[in-house]
Structure 1
Amino acid sequence: MIGDIHQRVTRSSVNSLAFFSHSAYVASFELRDVSHALSDPNWVNAMHEELENFERNHVWDLVEPPPNCRPIVTKWVFKNKQGEDGMVVRNKARLATQSFCHKEGIDYEETFAPVARLKAIRILLAFAASKGFKLQQMDVKSAFLNGFIEEEVYVRQTPGFESARFLDRVYKLRKALYGLKQAPRAWYARLKSFLLKSGFVMGSVDKTLFLLSHGGDTLIVRIYVDDIIFGGSSHALVSSFAEQMSREFEMSLMGELQFFLGLQIKQGPERTFIHEAKYTRDILKKFEMGDSKPKTTPMSTNTALDADEDGEAVDQKEFRGMIGSLLYLTATRPDIQFAVCLCARYQASPRTSHRQAVKRIFRYLKFTPELGLWYSSGSSLSLRDVDHAGCRIDRKSTSGTCQLLGTSLVSWSSRKQASVSLSTTEVEYIAAASSCSQLLWMKATLSDFGLRFGKIPLLVDSTSAISVAKNPVLHSKIKHIDVRFHFLRDHYEKGDIDLVHVASENQLADIFTKPLEFGAFVRLRGELGVEGVDNALIKGEIESQWTGLIALLV
């Protein structure tokens, strides 16, 4: 026991020493005024590091200002980089332009640059898990400084680092700066050009996906601005790509993919687990819900939200902040999708009843902070369901859909339909058409991965909706349905999808359309692959519910 105490004290001393020695080289507070930063040697070092990047990348030239020149103002942006434990690991000083000074047609033309969607990233994670290879991650240092710009852009000299000899001169940009509206587009064009010259093929649907085939091996690269995810069936091919990128750009090779866009990723030999446990704890603390009483479901089955015009108004800014935080959490928590989307409808004029519903979601997160998605092997797609006239204000229905790659849930939605439907058949038919469009996008995207599909099963729990889709005659019961929804019938006839009936009690998408009682909610949540909660805790909750029920009966 004395030895255990000695080990704990020694470990604590080492950690404390590491913390204080680390703190000596970084500033723990973020600044907004460059004058204060110039008096702190840690931030001065960070600013010098940024300017050295400019010199290495030949970003600009100090020139005489041309006639009628209106140089863009620059400013310093200071940010502390934190690790997963919340400790400051680096001070980052970024020199950026002030975007309100930009003039369209003079300082920039086109600004659009493709960015990978979260569902596309989940598809890649599910595909990699099914093929048994691990994804790697790299980060391009000062990525935007690598993008060449076509426009003639001038900026003022750097605040705090002006040239004493040439105070009247300005910088002419050769490459993009952070804050320039065309900077993301310029960086993407540079990276795309490099990858295509290196033998990669760009995805036919998703322009942030690049693939390289070498013999029987394949290398997959996914781009999200300056973050790059890559992996393949050959270790040699992966290593060669990492070396090639390091020679062309200044890179940070971060090894195995573990933390990306707030997602925590654990890649095992057979399954991959993605979750947002750290983010969940952060928002519970942010909105002071860390000590709240846990709830077993995100919404009570008897909840019926409406405008509640007679209710007491609440702080709109706080309510929107809570909704925004929860919406980002739905990237790995489909179990709260319906509840969050329902509450989000009342952001314009939130009331006490709406805030109580949102707090109920936080209390559910308190009960299940570690839940996430498990991805394993799989090679097919399936899906969906709706509820009829679910909105108490305009009587529009809610469509709930989910798409799976094998057993891996990669896409889902809970969305109010655009028009009022006259029957449950019409509701189901419209929702099936929406699901069909998502399936076609997934089918085209997965074809870039080398996956080919015949008829994709579209699971619908309404036999009448299936009959309407298969019936080529527009009879009186459906002649009022918008013609754009009838493309479901066209793709059924083409053989792209196969409409399959599923019993209502087995419809996975029910979790996206209505509040459910605890048993059904946990069952559907588990079938969707949302796991990670302590089974003993669930068992204890079930036993407590049975105890309460028996007490009532007695």
Structure 2
Amino acid sequence: MQSTTQPSSAHPMVTRSKVGIFKPNPKHQASIANLIQHNPYTSLIAASEPKGFKTASKSPHWMHAMHEEINALHRNNTWTLVSRPSQANIVGSKWVFRTKYHSDGSIDRHKARLVAQGFTQIPGLDFCHTFSPVVKASTVRIVLSLAVINNWPLHQLDVNNAFLNGSLTETVYMEQPPGFVDPAFPTHVCKLNKALYGLKQAPRAWFQRLSSFLVTYGFTCSRADTSLFVFNQGDCLMYLLVYVDDLILTGNKPVMLSNFISRLHQEFAIKDLGSLNYFLGLEVMHTENGLFLSQAKYALDILTRAGLVDVKPVSTPLATTDAFTSDGTPYSNPTFYRSIVGALQYLTITRPDLAYAVNQACQFLHAPTDHHFQLVKRILRYVKGTLSHGLVFQRPKHTTILGYSDADWARCIETRRSTYGYSIFLGGNLVSWSAKKQPTVSRSSCESEYRAMANTAAEIIWITHLLRELNALPPDRPTLLCDNRSALFMSQNPVSHKRAKHIDLDYHFIRELVMSGKLHTRFIPTNLQLADIFTKSLPRPQFEYFRELLRVCAPPVRLRGDNGKQYH
């Protein structure tokens, strides 16, 4: 039941929110549909995709897509038809349909995928190990930053039917595909020879197949991120990022890149998508001095799902007075709340300005209230006003690692735990950031800042390990900036302070880093502390100032005059 308590306001107008009505107004739906219709991202309202074979069989383009999939499965010798065994588990099968789009919203192709119903598999019988790594977002940003710094080309590759290349070590039986049952053997089942989409072990089998080929070719698997492969022979250097069946390739020798792509073509069914422009929902715009990363299409998709395409924008994700607490009327649709907040979490890959607000919303996924959803709606209103904003990567003059660390002591009203955040730059490009609640209560602001510095130092050390494997470690030692002098003193002096004796020993490793010269810590005034944007809600002027320093902005605009010159 929704609360009808009116919020305190001196304004006499009775609004929908004052009487407890938060559902979308039906009379606005026509204008929302009209706005989306004239929006360049038309993919968001495309015709609904069929849910099963019976519906898809009525459409010629979906039937064509299914025939292409079946032909690919037969060419790959994915299964062998055998008599139905009496003592074995038979895994179900189904069709999944997806419409693929370009970054501008236009339709790329219709894709039909035959998948095994992995939920019908029996652990220990149909599968054993399932884990398969995926590349970290920080690793992607670091590689892109290095490509910008060195002015290297970026290639995007896609593996067709990637999971079909994985070999199975278990015996798995599957029902014949719906609509494509062999009329000569209608009661037979498919004994799988290769991994198939939907199987629990399919991602792991594909990754092992791909990594084995890459190691044979001469790549080494990174220990800092196992989805990154590095080729370093002579004066040739190549990086390959793997995210399931999507690959990003860059390096210093265009000829070697072409040779490797050709070899990859011989081993797998590879689609060369050319220069990197759209990767996992990330839109990549190549500029004269670097790259611009954004998720405008994805952000509009979130607004459309939430029914908030027509909302009025706001200037900050949260007001300085907004706070997430567990008090309030439970929200009527917690699944919808989790869906929207989860989507916003993925949006933070290129939007660090959303990190703090989204982290606050994520802390109440288990039991959201109406007040929580109102705050999430404010975040979405901010997204609406900054739909095209993204992250800028530019070619720097110096390649150094610079980190900012900050904590807001006892920020959480209910648990009194502190919120900490950090931002780490490589050559002036933001490559890693975080906004989190500390796991324990700190007894002082010095303690919370010291713990934040230790966590930031751990991330910096991981980045240095990754850069060393990439043969791109800057010669200068990393610098960590903090605005708390007491925490700086603790990090620089091996003293046993009576107020810090309860701090876990693992946090004190930052002292060893400073003493050994592997890390340099310095003081920075609070008004220049970029990590402040990850620890609290800020007033608009300060928020926009820090957002600009983080290099989050609108896409570069290029105007071409009559004389052919470009004006920025």
Into which bin does the TM-score normalised by the smaller protein fall? 0.7 to 0.9
Q: What SS class does the counterpart of residue 124 from structure 2 fall into?
A: coil
Q: Which residue pairs with 1:380 in the alignment?
A: 400
Q: Cα offset for 1:214?
A: 4.4
- Assess if the C-alpha contact under 8 Å between 2:156 and 2:246 holds in 1: yes
The CA deviation string for residues 218-265 of structure 1, in whole angstroms up to 9 with x for no partner, is 121111100010011121111111111111111111001111111100
- Assess if the C-alpha contact under 8 Å between 1:386 and 1:399 holds in 2: yes
- Assess if the C-alpha contact under 8 Å between 2:330 and 2:367 holds in 1: no
Would you say 1:403 and 2:424 are equivalent positions? yes
- Assess if the C-alpha contact under 8 Å between 1:28 and 1:80 holds in 2: no
- Residue 117 of structure 2, aligned match among 98, 104, 109: 98
**In structure 1, distance between residues paired with 2:499 and 2:58:** 76
Q: Which residue pairs with 1:461 in the alignment?
A: 483
Residues 90-489 of structure 1 mapped to structure 2, 5 A cutoff: 90-309=109-328, 311=329, 313-378=331-396, 379-383=399-403, 384-453=405-474, 454-489=476-511
**In structure 1, distance between residues paired with 2:85 and 2:162:** 29
Q: Cα offset for 1:362?
A: 1.7
**In structure 2, distance between residues paired with 1:89 and 1:221:** 25
In the alignment, residue 328 of structure 1 is paired with which amino acid? Answer: Y
Unpaired runs of at least 5, structure 2 = 1-45, 558-568
Would you say 1:37 and 2:59 are equivalent positions? no
Q: What SS class does the counterpart of residue 284 from structure 2 fall into?
A: strand
**In structure 2, distance between residues paired with 1:230 and 1:484:** 37
**In structure 1, distance between residues paired with 2:317 and 2:58:** 49
Q: Which residue pairs with 2:43 in the alignment?
A: none
Q: Which residue pairs with 1:46 in the alignment?
A: 65
Q: Cα offset for 1:130?
A: 0.7
- Assess if the C-alpha contact under 8 Å between 2:148 and 2:290 holds in 1: yes
Q: What SS class does the counterpart of residue 182 from structure 2 fall into?
A: coil
Q: Which residue pairs with 1:11 in the alignment?
A: none
In the alignment, residue 98 of structure 2 is paired with which amino acid? Answer: K
The RMSD of aligned alpha carbons is 1.9
Cα gap change, 1:281 to 1:36, in 2 (>3 Å): closer
**In structure 2, distance between residues paired with 1:155 and 1:389:** 55
Q: What SS class does the counterpart of residue 91 from structure 2 fall into?
A: coil
In the alignment, residue 414 of structure 2 is paired with which amino acid? Answer: I
Q: Matched residue pairs, number?
A: 508
Cα gap change, 1:193 to 1:157, in 2 (>3 Å): same
- Assess if the C-alpha contact under 8 Å between 1:50 and 1:93 holds in 2: yes
**In structure 2, distance between residues paired with 1:258 and 1:162:** 40
**In structure 2, distance between residues paired with 1:283 and 1:374:** 22
Q: What SS class does the counterpart of residue 500 from structure 2 fall into?
A: coil
Q: Cα offset for 1:369?
A: 1.4
**In structure 1, distance between residues paired with 2:530 and 2:167:** 48
- Assess if the C-alpha contact under 8 Å between 1:368 and 1:533 holds in 2: no
Q: Cα offset for 1:288?
A: 2.4
Q: What SS class does the counterpart of residue 350 from structure 2 fall into?
A: coil
Unpaired runs of at least 5, structure 1 = 1-26, 536-554
- Assess if the C-alpha contact under 8 Å between 1:275 and 1:332 holds in 2: yes
In the alignment, residue 543 of structure 2 is paired with which amino acid? Answer: F
Q: Which residue pairs with 1:521 in the alignment?
A: 543
Q: What SS class does the counterpart of residue 248 from structure 2 fall into?
A: strand
**In structure 1, distance between residues paired with 2:192 and 2:251:** 38
Cα gap change, 1:161 to 1:533, in 2 (>3 Å): closer
Q: Cα offset for 1:117?
A: 1.1
**In structure 2, distance between residues paired with 1:492 and 1:35:** 66
- Assess if the C-alpha contact under 8 Å between 2:51 and 2:96 holds in 1: yes
In the alignment, residue 235 of structure 1 is paired with which amino acid? Answer: P
- Residue 530 of structure 2, aligned match among 502, 508, 514: 508
The CA deviation string for residues 346-398 of structure 1, in whole angstroms up to 9 with x for no partner, is 33333333222222222222222111111123421112211111111111100
Q: Mean alpha-carbon deviation: is it higher for 401-410 or for 278-287?
A: 278-287
Q: What SS class does the counterpart of residue 100 from structure 2 fall into?
A: strand
Q: What SS class does the counterpart of residue 81 from structure 1 fall into?
A: strand
Q: Mean alpha-carbon deviation: is it higher for 50-59 or for 280-289?
A: 280-289
Q: What SS class does the counterpart of residue 91 from structure 1 fall into?
A: strand
Q: Cα offset for 1:66?
A: 4.5
In the alignment, residue 489 of structure 1 is paired with which amino acid? Answer: R
**In structure 2, distance between residues paired with 1:212 and 1:161:** 43
- Assess if the C-alpha contact under 8 Å between 1:76 and 1:96 holds in 2: yes
- Assess if the C-alpha contact under 8 Å between 2:292 and 2:555 holds in 1: no
Q: Mean alpha-carbon deviation: is it higher for 297-306 or for 103-112?
A: 297-306
**In structure 1, distance between residues paired with 2:174 and 2:310:** 50
**In structure 1, distance between residues paired with 2:246 and 2:385:** 33
**In structure 1, distance between residues paired with 2:523 and 2:78:** 60
Q: Cα offset for 1:29?
A: 4.2
Q: Cα offset for 1:430?
A: 0.6
In the alignment, residue 486 of structure 2 is paired with which amino acid? Answer: S
Q: Cα offset for 1:207?
A: 1.4
Q: What SS class does the counterpart of residue 90 from structure 2 fall into?
A: coil
**In structure 1, distance between residues paired with 2:451 and 2:152:** 39
Q: Mean alpha-carbon deviation: is it higher for 405-414 or for 352-361?
A: 352-361
**In structure 2, distance between residues paired with 1:156 and 1:351:** 44
**In structure 2, distance between residues paired with 1:509 and 1:518:** 16
Q: Which residue pairs with 1:57 in the alignment?
A: 76
- Assess if the C-alpha contact under 8 Å between 1:327 and 1:340 holds in 2: yes
Q: Cα offset for 1:473?
A: 2.9
In the alignment, residue 523 of structure 2 is paired with which amino acid? Answer: H
The CA deviation string for residues 469-508 of structure 1, in whole angstroms up to 9 with x for no partner, is 2232323111111222122222222322111111111111
Structure 2 length normalisation: TM-score? 0.86
**In structure 1, distance between residues paired with 2:306 and 2:54:** 33
